[in-house]
Every structure is written in C-alpha cells, then in structure tokens.
Amino acid sequence: MALPKEQTGGYTYGDYRTWSDDERWELIDGVAWSMSPAPTPDHQSILLRLTRQIANITDRTGCATFVAPLDVRLSEKSAQSEDETPTVVQPDISVFCDPSRLDEKGAHAAPDLVVEILSPSTGYKDQTTKLALYERHAVREYWVVNGDAGWVMVYRLGAERRYGKPDYYRRDEAVRSDVLGGAEIATCSFLAAKA
C-alpha cells in the first residue's frame, strides 16, 4: 500500500501495519500524521537526558519507561477489533505502571504518563490534538516540553477525568510528578542552558 497523504481520514491500525518502515506515521482518530522529518539533535538530547531521569525513578517503582517509536494503540470501543483501531501514537516518552497494557506490538491502552517534546513539525499537534486525545484516554499526566523556550507544562488528570490548568515549570525549577510518586526532576538536568 502507498503511504498515506497527511490529513486524510479513515485509516486504521490494519492499514498502518502495511505501511513502509521508511517513514514514521501516527494515526489520530483515523487521520494520518507524518512524523518526518527526524527530530533535531536538541530534541534528541532532551529526550535522552529526560528519559534517563524518568527511567532511574521507574526502575525503583515497578513502572516501565519507553521511548519512541513505541506504538500505543488507543481505541474508544473495547469490543473493537485491533485492526479497526483508529489511533496509534508514538509519544516521545511513555510510562506504564500496569504491565497488562503492554503486548508484543507495543501498548494497547493509554500510558500513565506521556512526554512530548515540541518540535516545529509537531508542536501545534502536541499542544492541541494530542492534548485532547490524552485527556480523552485518561493519561494521568501529560508533559509538554519546550526546549527552545525553556519550559515544561504538566497536565494532570482531575477527579472528573479532565485536565485542569497545567502546572508550568521554568528552566530553574523542578518538575513534580504524581505518577512518579511525587518525585521531582530538575528542569536544568534535561533542558540545555540558552545563551
């Protein structure tokens, strides 16, 4: 099958599995989103440093940390067949505290914590489409990292399964995570200092 055209609808995980591995794609509600071009060195540097920090914590808690590309399949209907699943995303970082959500293909349910590092090609989607998607699928914490501006926003799922106003952390502060047992990660440990 030919690779999809971005922003066309009706695709499923069954279609997604037939696409070439030469390009990375995500599906959100049946719409294909290109993950090209590859992330920048700054993006990869933040990803590596932050993953190391989170994994050091999850290694002690029984949760598991994964980096992209890990296919996270999200479905609205529990009876829906796997091939009919309209959403497959590859968060920069995913933390799962329930191993039953993982299988040999990746994950078939939402992570407890998702981190997306903004880049020019995905920034708008990460702050709008994915924000709504992660809220709808009850991701307990959603971190949006802006390396260029030097801030992190953390959305936390409230009692009504909605994200409230995000907590905002600057380069000189520490991000606190409920999912990680109240652990704090200094933003300077993963955000590079800017001149």
Phi/psi at 94 (nearest 5 deg)? -130, 140
Instruction: Return d(Cα 21, Cα 11) in angstroms, integer.
Output: 17
pLDDT tens for the chain, 195 residues: list them. Answer: 455 555 567 899 999 999 888 888 999 999 999 887 788 899 999 999 999 999 999 999 999 999 999 999 998 766 568 888 999 999 999 999 999 999 999 999 999 999 999 988 888 899 999 999 999 999 999 999 999 999 999 999 998 999 999 999 999 999 999 999 999 999 999 997 664
CATH assignment, 37-189: 3.90.1570.10
The encoded tokens of residue 125 equal: 């989607």
In sequence order, the β-bridge partners of residue 32 are: 27
Instruction: Return d(Cα 171, Cα 195) in angstroms, integer.
Output: 13
pTM equals 0.92
* 78 Rama class: left (phi>0) / alpha (psi -120 to 50) / beta: alpha
Q: Which of 189, 193, 36 is nearest to 121 (CA)?
A: 36
